[in-house]
C-alpha cells in the first residue's frame, strides 16, 4: 500500500483516488439536487419572484447572494440557464471545493500525520462517507445558500490551518466574511464570534497565525458580516417581515417531529464533541474555535430556527468532518500488540 504524506498532502495517486470518488459523490448528489430544485422552483414560483424583486419575507430576503448570482446567469444567458440549473451548478462546484478543502485540512492534522498508512486511508474514507451523509440530508428542506455557506466555513478553516502572511490571512478571512454576509450572514457572524472568543479565552495555541492577527481578523470578519446584515435589514429591505411566523422557535423545537431529524443529523457531530475534543480540538486552536462556533450556531438554530431543517447546520457539520474522521478512526482501530 502506498504511504500517505501527512505533512505535504496525500501522495499523488491517493489524491487522485480521493478526488475521483469525491467527484462521483458530488455528481450523484447534483443529479438529485437538480430535480429537488426543479420541484422547489415549481412549488414556490411567487415566493421566488418576490425574493428577486426584493419584496420577499424575512429572513429569506436577507439571504440574497446566491439568488442574485443565479439571476445574473439567467439574464446573461437569456433564460437558457434557469434558476434550477444555476442552483444545481453552483452546488456542484461549491460542494466539490468544500470537500477538497476538508481533505486538505484533514491531512494537516497531527492525528492524521501520526497515523499509519492504513489508518490514513480509513480517515479519508470516513470523510467521504460523512460527506455523502450530509449531502443526502441537505436535500431535506433544500435551500441554495446551504453549500455556499459550507464553503465559507471550510475556506475560513483552511486559511486558519496553515501558516500564512498576516496580510493574506486577514484579507482572506475578511473577504470570505464579506461575501458570506450576502449569502447567510448569521453563519459568518457566529463563526467569527466563536473564533474571537476562543482566541481571547484560550490564546493562539495550536494556530499557525499570530494571536494579534487572529483577533484583528476575527473582529474584522465579525464587523463586516454584521454590517452587511444590518444594511440589508434596515436600508435595502426594511419592509421584509416574518409575517405570521414566530421568530422564537425553541418551544416548538421540543416536539418529536423536530428532535428526531436533528438527532439523526447531529449524531456524528455529537460524537466529535464527546470523543474528539481531547486529541484534536482541544490541542488545535482552529478545531477548538470551530467547535465553539458550531455550539453557538446550534443555540441560535434551536432558538430561532426549526430543528427539522437540518441543512441549516450543514455548514458547520461539514467542516467538522476532519475532526469526526480522526475521532472515529481512533475508535475503529485495533490496538497493536
Per-residue pLDDT at 277: 57
Per-residue pLDDT at 12: 62
Rg of the chain's alpha carbons, rounded to an integer? Answer: 20
In this prediction the pTM is 0.94
Per-residue pLDDT at 283: 47
Sites in the chain below the pLDDT cut of 70: 1-13, 276-283, 334-337
Per-residue pLDDT at 7: 43
Amino acid at each position: 500500500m502506498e504511504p500517505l504524506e501527512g505533512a505535504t498532502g496525500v501522495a499523488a495517486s491517493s489524491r487522485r483516488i480521493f478526488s475521483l470518488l469525491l467527484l462521483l459523490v458530488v455528481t450523484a448528489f447534483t443529479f438529485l439536487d437538480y430535480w429537488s430544485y426543479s420541484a422547489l422552483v415549481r412549488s414556490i414560483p411567487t415566493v421566488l419572484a418576490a425574493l428577486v424583486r426584493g419584496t420577499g419575507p424575512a429572513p429569506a430576503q436577507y439571504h440574497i447572494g446566491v439568488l442574485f448570482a443565479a439571476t445574473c446567469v439567467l439574464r446573461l444567458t437569456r433564460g437558457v440557464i434557469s434558476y434550477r440549473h444555476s442552483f444545481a451548478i453552483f452546488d456542484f462546484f461549491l460542494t466539490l471545493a468544500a470537500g477538497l478543502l476538508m481533505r486538505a485540512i484533514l491531512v494537516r492534522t497531527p492525528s492524521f500525520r501520526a497515523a499509519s498508512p492504513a489508518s490514513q486511508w480509513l480517515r479519508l474514507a470516513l470523510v467521504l462517507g460523512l460527506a455523502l451523509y450530509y449531502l443526502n440530508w441537505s436535500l431535506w428542506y433544500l435551500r441554495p445558500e446551504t453549500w455556499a455557506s459550507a464553503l465559507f466555513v471550510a475556506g475560513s478553516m483552511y486559511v486558519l490551518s496553515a501558516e500564512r502572511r498576516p496580510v493574506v490571512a486577514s484579507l482572506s478571512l475578511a473577504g470570505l466574511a464579506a461575501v458570506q454576509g450576502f449569502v447567510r450572514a448569521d453563519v459568518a457572524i457566529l463563526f467569527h464570534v466563536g473564533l474571537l472568543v476562543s482566541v481571547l479565552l484560550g490564546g493562539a495555541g495550536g494556530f499557525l497565525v499570530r494571536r494579534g492577527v487572529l483577533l484583528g481578523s476575527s473582529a474584522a470578519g465579525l464587523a463586516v458580516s454584521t454590517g452587511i446584515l444590518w444594511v440589508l435589514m434596515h436600508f435595502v429591505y426594511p419592509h421584509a417581515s416574518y409575517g405570521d411566523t414566530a421568530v422564537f422557535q425553541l418551544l416548538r423545537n421540543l416536539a418529536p417531529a423536530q428532535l428526531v431529524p436533528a438527532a439523526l443529523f447531529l449524531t456524528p457531530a455529537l460524537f466529535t464533541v464527546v470523543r474528539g475534543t481531547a486529541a484534536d480540538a482541544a490541542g488545535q486552536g482552529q478545531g477548538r474555535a470551530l467547535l465553539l462556533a458550531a455550539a453557538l450556531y446550534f443555540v441560535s438554530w434551536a432558538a430561532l430556527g426549526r430543528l427539522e431543517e437540518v441543512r441549516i447546520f450543514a455548514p458547520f457539520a461539514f467542516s467538522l468532518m476532519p475532526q469526526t474522521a480522526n475521532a472515529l478512526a481512533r475508535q475503529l482501530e485495533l490496538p497493536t500488540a
